[in-house]
Amino acid sequence: MGPQLPILKQWRLFVFFLAPLILLPLPLVVATQVAGAGYVILIVAIYSVASPIPLCMTAIMSVFLYPLLGIYPARQVAAWAINDPVMLMLGSIIFAMAIEGVLLHKRIALRVLLAVGQKPERLLMGFLFVSFILSMFIANIAVVVMLLPIVEAMKEEMDKFSEDSNGVVDHKAAEQLHAKEPPRRHQKLINGLFLASVYGSTTGGMTTLVGAHPNILFKLFIDRFYGDAAAVNFATFMAVTGPMAVCATILIWLSMTFAYAPEFFKSFWKKTESSHDDLKFRSRLRDLFQEQYNSLGSFNFGEGSVVTMFFILVALWLFREPQLFPGWGSLFKKGYVSDATPVLLISFLLFAWPSDWRLLWNEGVLKPVITWRPLMLQRFPWELLMYAIGTTVLAEGTTAAGLSVWIADLFGPLVVVPPWVLMILITVVVSILTEFLGNSLIAVMLIPVVASFAEKTMVNPIFYMLPIAMTTVLSFMTPMSAHTMMLLQKQGVPVREMCATGLSAKIICITLVVITMNTVADPVFDIHSFPAWAVNGTSGVKQ
């Protein structure tokens, strides 16, 4: 076999230039808005899989392609880029920066790990639920990046303990032992803790409107098609997804405990006592957590302020339009306030709110909870915001062009399929696709299609739309499914282990999504009746 040209190693560069050229006849020959919108979404899909450029820049393509292809004017595209769901996400990111800035997330994580104990099954529980709770309001990647160093510190402690347990006293022998793989049991538990950190962030992200970007897109499409009549807000969304996510996290913990700490189940019928080495090792882990916790210092005014603001924010979200009784939103004209309003207001206040009251009182120095420099400039996840803007424009353009209605018409033969069967089929297919494509891209392509199909078949659109939003978040098995899963591969977790452990987690979540949509969702969204607000919702969308 002859030598290959070095440039062929950069095959993604060829994809970058060839994909738009090969697909160019679509908008030039067909020359309709539907064809143009299809051209853009196909390029975005190809770039998302091949990754010739960063994902956030791939999403931004729609912002300049729509005007260049003559599909929509630049003014219209710019208006789509900044809307209420994007503002909700922006405010949530800024508030999450406040939590990270005062290290409140790390204090919560270490406090929980100290409280649950250091047995393997309890460590799995601790990492799962810490990640779950934090990811409800903080970006998944930020939560996982915070937890991984804690697991790495545990791994180092396990290596040291293994050396001590083997009685290694010679320095050269110690180096040789340290270079080897840690004991299989310890390495397996470490992999389990890495996976627990990611799986908890996944189930936590599906719980709230701000927990994951597909949830934001779901809200965007609901507002775009049906407005406030659909009654989808922070409270109603969480009323449906919250119980399901909690149950999913508990069941995932049980399945992971069976795989990584089977002694927990054996202890129910065979009483066993922990060995001296196990007790000693748990003590060292507790000392490790305690040392890291003590390094944070005492609970301060800044942390207390963020906690207080957090509870105020959640209360404002839950009681804006609680459905059961008039909320505080009724004090304003209809449509004037949204879920984005309180989070932007509170985030705005934190730029002036002191993090150290004594410093302000004694020395007249103001140190705000959120600072523009260095916190916002250095740590703000601009790529998340750019990705949100790009996918929002892509979603708006696809809908306004009528592409979703056109695709929905192709699925006409499926009208004979019972809605509950079709919902299960959608859930399973989407959960498979999300392991290979970007979850937001799947949401952009499928949510408007199923909404249009639901209207044609006289089914409540939420019955099909919400399962897509929930299942696109379920990235459990492959490194390409999410940035958090890619981090696991970098930590040395084998792909085979990701797939084996993730399969049970995915089956658990799919099952619970199906059950939830047929039970809990019904009293909240009246899911089994066709509402008046859904008539011609998608077909009536204008530019």
Count CB-CB contacts under 10 A for residue 354.
Answer: 17
Two tokens, residue 231: 């009654």
C-beta separation of 515 from 427 below 8 A:
no
Question: Contact 179/147 with Cβ under 8 angstroms?
Answer: no
Domain that holds residue 67: 1-81
* pLDDT in the model for residue 176: 43
pLDDT in tens, 500-532: 999 999 999 999 999 999 999 999 998 989 988
Residues 211-231 have a mean pLDDT of: 88
Number of domains in the chain: 1
* 180 pLDDT more than 60: no
Q: How far apart are the first and last CA of the chain?
A: 56
Residue 167 burial by CB count (10 A; 0-12/13-18/19+): exposed, middle or buried?
exposed
Mean residue pLDDT of the chain comes to: 85
Is the Cβ–Cβ distance between 26 and 38 less than 8 Å?
Answer: yes
150: in domain: no
Mean pLDDT across the stretch 345-365?
A: 90
Mean pLDDT of 162-176: 49
* Identity at 412, one-letter amino acid code: G
pLDDT interval class at 164 (50, 70, 90): low
pLDDT reported for residue 200 = 94
Q: Mean pLDDT over residues 148-159, rounded?
A: 82
pLDDT digits (tens, 9 = 90+) for 434-457: 888 777 888 888 899 999 899 888
Q: Is 488 part of a structural domain of the chain?
A: no
**Which residue spans within 33-149 are E strands per DSSP?**
none
Query: Residue 18 falls within a domain, yes or no?
Result: yes
Q: Is residue 22 part of a domain?
A: yes
Q: Note whether residue 21 is domain-resident.
A: yes
pTM of the model: 0.84
Whether residue 74 lies inside any domain: the answer is yes
Tokens found for residue 273? 């006592």
Neighbours of 287 (CB within 10 A): 12
In a domain, 484, yes or no: no
Give mean pLDDT, residues 242-256.
95
CA 448 to chain centre: 20
Q: Is the pLDDT of residue 471 over 60?
A: yes
Residue 246: both structure tokens together: 């909690």
Say yes or no to pLDDT of 276 above 70.
no
Q: Check residue 328 and report its DSSP letter.
A: G
**482 lies in some domain:** no
Q: What percent of the chain has pLDDT over 90?
A: 31
Q: What is the pLDDT of residue 175?
A: 46
Our CA angle for 130, 131, 135, nearest 5°, is 120
Nearest of 499, 416, 381, 346 to residue 143 by alpha carbon: 381
Across residues 342-357, what is the average pLDDT? 92
Residue 156 pLDDT > 50: yes
Q: What pLDDT score was predicted for residue 537?
A: 66
Q: Is residue 105 within a helix (H) or strand (E), and if so which, with residue range?
A: helix 104-116
Region 218-233: mean pLDDT is 88
H-run or E-run covering 6: none
Q: Provide the pLDDT for residue 117.
A: 82
Q: Which residues pair with 354 in a beta bridge?
A: 368
Over residues 116-136, the pLDDT tens digits come to 887 888 999 999 999 999 999
Mean pLDDT computed over 59-81:
90
